[in-house]
């Protein structure tokens, strides 16, 4: 008997060679035998062992064999870059959030469909090990309430990244959207924003703290508390309570799970390898995964939210 024909690795280029590319994208691509990192581009960054160019145009001109491009830039410029990538006939992997606005994200998906290329809106937190178990637990019960608590220190996790507090940078929603990507996965219904308090530093354009109330059509009460000034222990947790009083805690960004006081799961983070395996399958199947529901929740909060002046933010 003849074995299956071995597929050639999918050849990938990177746009943006900063911290997220170095910490997650580059090692995840190189660890996957179905993928090959060909080159990257950035005006300044030059990671070790990556053939780097100053621009996307230079990279694609030098490497026409590139089949897919992962865009790891700040969200404000992703739409422009994605248009160029799609026009060149390449598949697109969008770092989260997929774009600065919901309109831009939807335009990217439409362009990819028209061109016949795959696009992935890469909500990496959905690939955390405890998320699917949580989704199944919720599906088997009548849920009373959900409380999202996502608090971290911006100075620790985003040092020098001024773009995060500029228009389109989303502020605390940049990490907070990870919780919303989990929330919109584990809850089957649409999540509707009812109220949001946006604390925006007087020298910034995006919130540093947010308190938000949401609901589902069936009436599940959802509260979210986001803070970019957390000191001490960082908190990335979602608390769920059923009508019968059962309690679930999804913690550490989805790597830990406690049900009714008993620890069920405690795993290491391994989200990006799963994301890239998913991306490879999409490309080979000629499919896309362009779910923008987490971005829609942020857009609704920014539209509906009450803007509250916060003290000046100093790096």
- Residues forming the active site: 96
Report the distance separating Cα 195 and Cα 257, nearest Å.
Answer: 28
* Whether the Cβ atoms of residue 50 and residue 107 lie closer than 8 Å to each other: no
The torsion angle over the Cα atoms of residues 107, 79, 181 and 30, rounded to 10 degrees, is 120
Q: With CA atoms as reference, report the closest residue to 68 among 45, 22, 105, 36.
A: 36
Return the bridge partners of 130, or none.
none
**Number of other residues whose CB lies within 10 A of the CB of residue 44:** 8
- Minimal CA–CA distance to 32: which of 63, 7, 64? 7
> How far apart are the C-alpha atoms of 242 and 93, rounded to whole Å?
36
Query: Concatenated DSSP letters for 73-124?
Result: S-GGGHHHHHHHHHHTT-EEEEPSSSSSSHHHHHHHHHHHHHHT--EEE--G
Q: Which of 117, 46, 81 is nearest to 286 (CA)?
A: 117
């Amino acid at each position: 008997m003849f074995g299956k024909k071995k597929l050639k690795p999918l050849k990938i280029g990177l746009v943006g060679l900063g911290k997220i590319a170095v910490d997650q994208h580059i090692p995840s691509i190189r660890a996957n035998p179905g993928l090959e990192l060909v080159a990257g581009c950035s005006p300044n960054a030059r990671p070790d062992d990556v053939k780097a160019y100053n621009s996307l145009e230079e990279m694609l001109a030098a490497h026409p064999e590139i089949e897919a491009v992962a865009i790891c830039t700040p969200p404000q410029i992703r739409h422009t870059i994605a248009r160029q990538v799609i026009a060149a006939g390449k598949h697109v992997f969008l770092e989260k959030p997929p774009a600065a606005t919901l309109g831009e994200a939807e335009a990217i998906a439409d362009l990819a469909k028209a061109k016949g290329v795959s696009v992935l809106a890469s909500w990496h937190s959905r690939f955390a090990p405890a998320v699917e178990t949580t989704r199944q637990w919720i599906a088997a019960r009548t849920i009373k309430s959900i409380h999202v608590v996502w608090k971290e220190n911006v100075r620790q996790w985003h040092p020098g990244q001024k773009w995060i507090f500029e228009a389109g940078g989303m502020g605390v929603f940049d990490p907070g959207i990870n919780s919303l990507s989990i929330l919109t996965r584990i809850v089957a219904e649409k999540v509707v924003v009812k109220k949001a308090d946006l604390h925006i530093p007087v020298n910034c354009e995006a919130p540093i703290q947010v308190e938000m109330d949401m609901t589902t059509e069936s009436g599940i009460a959802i509260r979210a508390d986001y803070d970019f000034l957390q000191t001490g222990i960082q908190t990335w947790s979602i608390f769920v309570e059923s009508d019968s009083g059962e309690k679930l805690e999804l913690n550490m960004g989805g790597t830990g799970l406690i049900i009714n006081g008993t620890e069920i799961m405690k795993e290491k983070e391994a989200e990006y390898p799963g994301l890239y395996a998913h991306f490879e399958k999409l490309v080979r199947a000629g499919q896309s995964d362009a779910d923008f529901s987490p971005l829609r929740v942020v857009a609704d909060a920014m539209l509906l939210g009450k803007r509250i002046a916060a003290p000046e933010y100093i790096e």
